[in-house]
């Protein structure tokens, strides 16, 4: 555990140090987030924060390569080279998009390229969680992996709309996944506790922890496309890497929980971004628009439009991310019969915290509308 914590610390310090420098580079290069109708921020904010996050991850990964504890991960360098290639791809695509605002299809090509680099490096979906169905075909493994990585990248990108929201959700979900994969590795392997998925989550935790002080409201820098792609890449690659352990998990039960927990927790970690992605695609498709057309219908927009301040909306979404990710993780330690009543109570409280301000705001809007209607009738007269 100390080796992982060292990686977290070094990555955090690297991101804390590099973010102000890259923020200034973004300012001078003209990488500003413009003011649009759908945006919540009230002034232009420089981007390139994601470039600092990628650089911090590369520093943390380089450090891990020198630590004997992680030697098992770096024995076969092909997956590491694939990951490095993917990081370079998203760095280039993200930085260019922050500067010139690439069309959606160009960004999609870049995302597929990064995902393909991961898959060709050997980090692939090798088994499906339902019925322990192995994916024996190499092309199918690659296609499934590319799909999962690109889907997660876009899910994180969609939810990146408020100060600190995407980084906070990734930090919360990544920490839950970090704990699970670490304990899982200790249970499966008797002597070697190094694990690629756990290392990736350590890097993600460090990058998010180092970036959040600058990205919290009011944000002085945004992560931009580069940061969103990075978070999606790390989360999805870690989830895919866990599937390689499914053969070792056959017949295995971790605290009476089925062995498909790695996949279940992977989904739980990105549940909120995925929900926002699905609803956005359905909403835009229903009105005949492209799924990639930006609008102001995301979950965070609805909260802000419903009366929440921006920090309050972020806190509520962080709360739901924590409940889903850490609630799923808790199933490994608490018997289901005991966990369900607690989960029901927590969900009721979270729903009350979320809905009460929205209902109050709607009620106030109704009260404000009635005098306005009466006044209008008085001015123009009634027949």
* Known binding positions for Mg(2+): 157
C-beta separation of 190 from 341 below 8 A: no
* Torsion (CA) 70, 73, 75, 77 in degrees, nearest 10: -120
Phi, psi dihedral angles at 45 (to 5 degrees): -125, 135
Can you tell me whether residue 351 is helix, strand or coil?
A: helix
C-beta separation of 314 from 164 below 8 A: yes
Rounded to whole angstroms, what are the CA distances from 87 to 13, 50, 111, 230, 248? Answer: 19, 11, 11, 7, 29
Could you tell me the two tokens for 320? 């739901």
C-beta separation of 225 from 107 below 8 A: yes
Q: What is the bridge-based pairing of β-strands 32-33 and 45-46?
A: antiparallel
Q: How far apart are CA 85 and CA 79, in angstroms?
A: 10
Residues 230-251 as b/e (b if ≥16 CB within 10 A, e otherwise) read bbbbbbbbbbbbbbbbbeebee
Closest CA to 124 of 210, 235, 240: 240
Q: What DSSP assignment string belongs to 84-103? A: HHHHHHHHHHHHHHHHH---
Chain centroid offset of residue 135 CA: 26
Q: Which residues are annotated as a binding site?
A: 157
Can you tell me whether residue 380 is helix, strand or coil?
A: helix
Burial (Cβ within 10 Å: 0-12, 13-18, ≥19) of residue 73: buried
Can you tell me whether residue 177 is helix, strand or coil?
A: helix
Q: What is the bridge-based pairing of β-strands 127-128 and 133-134?
A: antiparallel
Q: How far apart are CA 169 and CA 236, in angstroms?
A: 14
Q: Please name every residue paired with 134 in a beta bridge, in sequence order, or none if there are none.
A: 127
Could you tell me the two tokens for 285? 């498709």
């Amino acid at each position: 555990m100390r080796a992982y914590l060292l990686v977290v610390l070094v990555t955090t310090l690297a991101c804390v140090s590099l973010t102000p420098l890259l923020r200034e580079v973004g300012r001078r290069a003209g990488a500003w987030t413009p003011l649009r109708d759908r945006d919540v921020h009230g002034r232009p904010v420089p981007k390139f924060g994601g470039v600092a996050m990628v650089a911090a991850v590369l520093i943390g990964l380089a450090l891990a390569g020198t630590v004997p504890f992680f030697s098992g991960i770096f024995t076969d360098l092909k997956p590491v080279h694939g990951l490095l290639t993917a990081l370079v791809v998203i760095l280039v695509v993200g930085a260019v998009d922050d500067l010139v605002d690439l069309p959606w299809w160009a960004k999609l090509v870049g995302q597929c390229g990064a995902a393909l680099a991961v898959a060709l490096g050997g980090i692939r979906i090798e088994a499906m969680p339902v019925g322990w169905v192995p994916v024996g075909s190499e092309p199918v493994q690659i296609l499934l992996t590319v799909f999962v990585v690109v889907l997660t990248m876009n899910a994180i990108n969609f939810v990146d709309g408020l100060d600190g929201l995407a980084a906070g959700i990734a930090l919360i979900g990544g920490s839950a996944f970090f704990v699970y994969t670490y304990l899982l590795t200790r249970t499966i392997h008797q002597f070697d506790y190094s694990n690629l998925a756990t290392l990736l989550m350590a890097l993600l935790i460090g990058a998010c922890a180092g970036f959040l002080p600058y990205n919290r409201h009011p944000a002085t820098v945004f992560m931009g496309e580069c940061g969103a792609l990075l978070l999606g890449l790390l989360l999805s690659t870690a989830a895919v890497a866990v599937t390689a352990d499914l053969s070792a998990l056959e017949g295995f039960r971790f605290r009476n929980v089925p062995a498909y927990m790695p996949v279940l927790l992977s989904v739980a970690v990105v549940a909120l971004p995925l929900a926002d992605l699905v609803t956005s695609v359905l909403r835009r498709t229903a009105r005949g628009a492209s799924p990639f057309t930006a609008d102001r219908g995301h979950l965070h927009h609805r909260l802000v439009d419903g009366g929440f301040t921006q920090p309050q909306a972020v806190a509520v979404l962080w709360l739901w991310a924590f409940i889903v990710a850490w609630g799923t993780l808790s199933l490994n330690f608490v018997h289901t019969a005991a966990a369900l009543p607690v989960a029901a109570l927590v969900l009721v409280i979270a729903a009350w915290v979320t809905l009460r301000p929205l209902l109050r705001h709607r009620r106030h809007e109704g009260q404000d509308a009635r005098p306005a209607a009466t006044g209008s009738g008085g001015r123009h007269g009634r027949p």
